[in-house]
Amino acid sequence: MTDMLIKLYDLPDGPAEQHVTGPAARLVRKPIGPEHDAIVAWVQQIFGARWASEARVALTNRPVSLFIAMQGAELIGFACYDATARGCVGPIGVQDAARGSGIGAALLRATLADMRASGYGYAIAGAVGPKDFFSRVAGATDIADSTPGLYAGMFRGQD
Ligand SMILES: CC(C)(COP(=O)(O)OP(=O)(O)OC[C@H]1O[C@@H](n2cnc3c(N)ncnc32)[C@H](O)[C@@H]1OP(=O)(O)O)[C@@H](O)C(=O)NCCC(=O)NCCS
C-alpha cells in the first residue's frame, strides 16, 4: 500500500454532484442532516470502525465533505475527503453487490470535483489498495516513500 497523488487541475471541469444514469437510477449526492448517523452506521457495518471514524470527520466538516450513492432508498456507496487529513481523498467504498458498474468512479469524480471547487490543486489518496481504480479514474500516481507515511504510529485500538 502506498499513497497516490492526483492532479485536480488535470481533471475535466464539471458539476461536483454527478448523476449516474441507468435502469437503477442511481444518484450521487451529499447527504442532509437526518441521514448522518445512519450513514456512519452503514460505513461501520460494511467497512469497519476506522472508516466510520473518517466518515464522521467528513460529516462534521462544513461544508460536508462526503458524498453518498443511493439506489432507490438504499445506500450503496460513499466517498469523502478532508477526513484522514486535509487534502486527502478517501476512504471510498461501494457495497459488494453494486461494484463494477461505475458507482465508485462517479463517487470519486464527484469528490475530486468538490475538492477542486474548494481550492485544492492536488488530492492525496492514502494507503491505496486498488491502485488501478485510482489511476484509471483520476490519473493517480504513486508517491515515493509514502509507506507508512501519515499512518506511522497510528493508534489502532483493538483490531
Ligand atoms: C474500489 C471501489 C470503490 C471501486 O468501486 P466500483 O464501483 O466497483 O468501481 P467502478 O465500477 O466505478 O470502476 C471504475 C474503474 O476502476 C476499475 N476498478 C474498480 N475496482 C477496481 C479494483 N479493485 N482494482 C483495480 N481496478 C478497479 C474498473 O475496472 C473501472 O475501470 P474502467 O473504467 O477502465 O473500466 C470498490 O471496489 C470498493 O468499494 N472496494 C473496497 C473498498 C476499497 O478498497 N476502497 C479503496 C480504498 S483505498
Domain containing 68 — which CATH number?
3.40.630.30
Q: Is the pLDDT of residue 114 over 90?
A: yes
User: Is residue 158 assigned to a domain?
Assistant: no
Grid cell listed for 6? 492526483
Ligand 1 centroid to 133 CA: how many Å? Answer: 5
pLDDT above 50 (res 22): no
Is 20 a residue whose pLDDT tops 60?
Answer: no
Within a domain: residue 48?
Answer: yes
33 Cβ closer than 6 Å to some ligand 1 atom: no
In a domain, 147, yes or no: yes
Q: Are 125 and 4 in contact (CB under 8 A)?
A: yes
For the chain, the domain total comes to: 1
Domain contains 75 = yes
pLDDT for position 70: 94
- pTM comes to 0.94
Q: What is the pLDDT of residue 16?
A: 57
Q: What percent of the chain has pLDDT over 90?
A: 82
Check if 126 has its Cβ closer than 6 Å to any atom of ligand 1: no
* pLDDT confidence bin for 151, thresholds 50/70/90: very high
In the predicted structure, residue 1 carries a pLDDT above the cut 70: yes
CA of 108 to the centre of ligand 1 (A): 10
pLDDT band per the 50, 70, 90 thresholds, residue 23: very low
Residue 125 sits in which domain range? Answer: 2-151
What digits encode the pLDDT tens for the residues 57-75?
999 999 999 999 999 999 9
Q: Print the SS3 string covering the chain.
A: CEEEEEEHHHCCCCCCCCECCCCCCEEEECCCHHHHHHHHHHHHHHHCHHHHHHHHHHHHCCCCCEEEEEECCEEEEEEEECCCCCCEEEEEEECHHHCCCCHHHHHHHHHHHHHHHCCCCEEEEEEECCHHHHHHHHCCEECCCCCCHHHCCCCCCCC
Residue 159 lies in a domain: no
Read off the pLDDT band of 11 (50, 70, 90): confident
Local confidence band at 14 (pLDDT 50, 70, 90 cut-offs): low
